[in-house]
């Protein structure tokens, strides 16, 4: 195998540091919540930066749970989870509508399905996977031990 394939392969990379994952999770949540209260992003982008940050939060949270998982695996899992939550918004039973009417329920489950939200989720999960593929310390081993 070439150097680049080994370099990106999860088994040759140092595991993610959980404290950094947790700090990243807190930072993403903080920016996401702040973006709802303050104009951090251009108004032309609407609510989509928040959707992308939500997908990034899921990505970082999954990385916290599975520190040795490959970046692409975490990205795909985060994207599938975000898509599942978005498609669940098509279900409008009274009990779940009531749950979504509360702040926490709305932040976690959303309220209205939107096809364009799927693009924002792909951007957020993809950005997380790409950033996660950047070199980590102790990840330069070329050969199996």
The tens digit of pLDDT for each residue in 38-55 reads 888 877 777 888 889 999
Q: How far apart are CA 96 and CA 9, in angstroms?
A: 41
Closest CA to 48 of 35, 61, 62, 30: 35
- 108-137 pLDDT tens trace: 787 788 899 999 999 999 999 999 988 665
Average pLDDT over residues 91-104: 86
When the pLDDT of each residue in the chain is averaged and rounded to a whole number, the result is: 82
Q: How far apart are CA 40 and CA 32, in angstroms?
A: 9
Q: What percent of the chain shows pLDDT beyond 70?
A: 83
pLDDT range class, residue 13, cuts 50, 70, 90: low
First CA to last CA across the chain, in angstroms?
Answer: 15
Q: Provide the whole-model pTM.
A: 0.78
Residue 11, number of CB atoms within 10 A of its CB: 9
Residue 143 Ramachandran class (φ > 0 left, ψ -120 to 50 alpha, else beta):
beta
Which has more pLDDT, 141 or 86? 86
Residues 6+ apart with CB under 8 A from 73: 10
| Cα torsion through 94, 108, 75, 131, rounded to 10 | 160
Q: What proportions of the chain, in percent to the nearest 5, are helix, strand and coil? A: 70, 0, 30
């Amino acid at each position: 195998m070439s150097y680049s394939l080994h370099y990106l392969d999860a088994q040759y990379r140092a595991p993610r540091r959980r404290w950094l994952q947790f700090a990243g999770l807190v930072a993403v949540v903080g920016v996401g919540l702040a973006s709802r209260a303050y104009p951090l992003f251009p108004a032309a982008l609407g609510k989509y930066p928040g959707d992308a940050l939500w997908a990034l939060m899921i990505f970082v949270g999954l990385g916290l749970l599975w520190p040795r998982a490959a970046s692409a695996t975490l990205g795909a899992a985060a994207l599938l989870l975000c898509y599942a939550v978005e498609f669940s918004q098509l279900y409008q039973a009274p009990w779940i509508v009531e749950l979504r009417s509360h702040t926490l329920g709305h932040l976690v489950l959303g309220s209205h399905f939107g096809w364009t939200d799927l693009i924002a989720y792909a951007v957020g999960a993809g950005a997380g996977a790409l950033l996660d593929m950047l070199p980590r310390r102790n990840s330069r081993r070329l050969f199996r031990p």
